[in-house]
Amino acid sequence: MISLDNEYTIAIVIAAVTVAVAIVLEIVLKVVKNRMRAGQDDYVPTPRYIVLEAIDGPAILMVLLAGGTYAGAFALDHWHSGRDLDTDLAALLRRAGTVGVVAVGAFLATRIGSLLLDWYAEHVASKTSTQLDDQLIPSFKRMLPILVYALAILWALAIFEIEISPLLATLGIGGIAIALAAQPTLSNYFAGTYVISEGEIEPGDFIEIEGGPSGFVEDISWRSTKLRSRFNNLIIIPNSMMSDNMITNYSRPALAMNVIVTGGVSYSSDLQQVEDILMDVAGKIVVESEHAVTETEPRAGFSVFGDSNIDFWVFLQATDRAGSFQLKSQLIKQIHERFNEAGVVINYPIRHLVVDDVPEEEEGAEQEPTAPEQIVEFVRKS
């Protein structure tokens, strides 16, 4: 029969072995990491190295907690067997130790996930053509600890044999209430998911919301989209508004933008001469202006017989939205100058009134006084 002293000795041996295992594990981790970095002064951490770096510390603590709990419970089992106690201290220690291991494991899982997401954001997401992963990673980093620690808490409650079914039901009802209260926030969140996943709007694009503001996209987050207006003001738009309204993206599918200038010339003008002037002006602007797309040929023509003029149009293509304003201004100034030189007339809107001869009133017929005459007569009587 093993004596009491031998039982305590076994517990001490278990604790000593636990410490030895923790020390060996620490040495092994350091050796492996040093070999991975050997001869590389500018070493770029790999996912494997990041995992080893993350577990260095928490893993040692988990080994110590597990071994210490087992050794302590082993000793308490035999200490408790000779005494009449209502509480099973060994079982309580095992549960507490297991909860400690679970807590450290949750911390370790969160740490590894966060470091790997940071590595992905720096070395992978930054090199992709889409902004989707850049936008998703911060959200994943916020949600990861919430999910991991929530599971760890449920596990800890199960270890202490606490019924979690009522708690889950309460959380379900509470979740519904929270969802109803936070409906606008959730609406913006899911709308932001839609905007980001579509990839049709990215920072730097110039957009205009139907019946709303316009500007350059500065940032797209889960709750709102930030625009910089042409007055250099920051406009914050809820994502729900972005998904519920029509949006014109002036930067897609390409930055180049069509420029059309319309006007009119009198009916007495030589239309062939007018067309030659328009094409000559447009062609010179395409060659000379840095804002014009030289690969796109200018075009001009006539569209409609107007009330006072024959309407014309001139087409060019600008390199971007800002350049379109410059091109339109140059077109208007040079067309006006060339029309003046060539004597081409742009009529003002006019109306010709044709009045029939009014028959003379019969002599002696009484005529109704006019409105001014009525006013004068009223003043005299007053």
Greatest mean pLDDT among 94-108, 156-170, 367-381 lies in 94-108
DSSP structural state of residue 181: H
pLDDT at 254 over 50: yes
* Locus of tokens 């569209």: 303
CATH class held by domain 197-249: mainly beta
Give the contacts of 288 (CB within 8 A, at least 6 positions apart).
none
Percent over 90 (pLDDT), the chain: 34
Q: pLDDT for 63-74, tens place per residue?
A: 999 888 888 887
Distances from the Cα of 184 to the Cα of 137, 237, 238, 240, angstroms = 23, 13, 9, 8
Q: Cis omega (within 30 of 0) on the bond before 138?
A: no
Q: pLDDT for 185-231, tens place per residue?
A: 667 777 777 777 777 888 889 999 988 899 999 988 878 899 999 88
The CATH code for residues 257-342 is 3.30.70.100
Measuring CA to CA, which residue among 25, 87, 35, 30 is closest to residue 59?
25
* Locus of tokens 């959380």: 171
Distances from the Cα of 2 to the Cα of 9, 89, 370, angstroms = 11, 21, 135
Q: Where are the domains of the chain?
A: 4-181, 197-249, 257-342
Q: pLDDT for 18-58, tens place per residue?
A: 899 989 998 998 888 888 887 776 777 888 888 888 888 88
The CA angle 97-98-101, to the nearest 5 degrees, is 90
- List the beta bridge partners of residue 265: 310
What is the residue-wise DSSP string for 51-120?
HHHHHTTHHHHHHHHHHHHHHHHHHHHHHHHTS--SS-HHHHHHHHHHHHHHHHHHHHHHHHHHHHHHHH
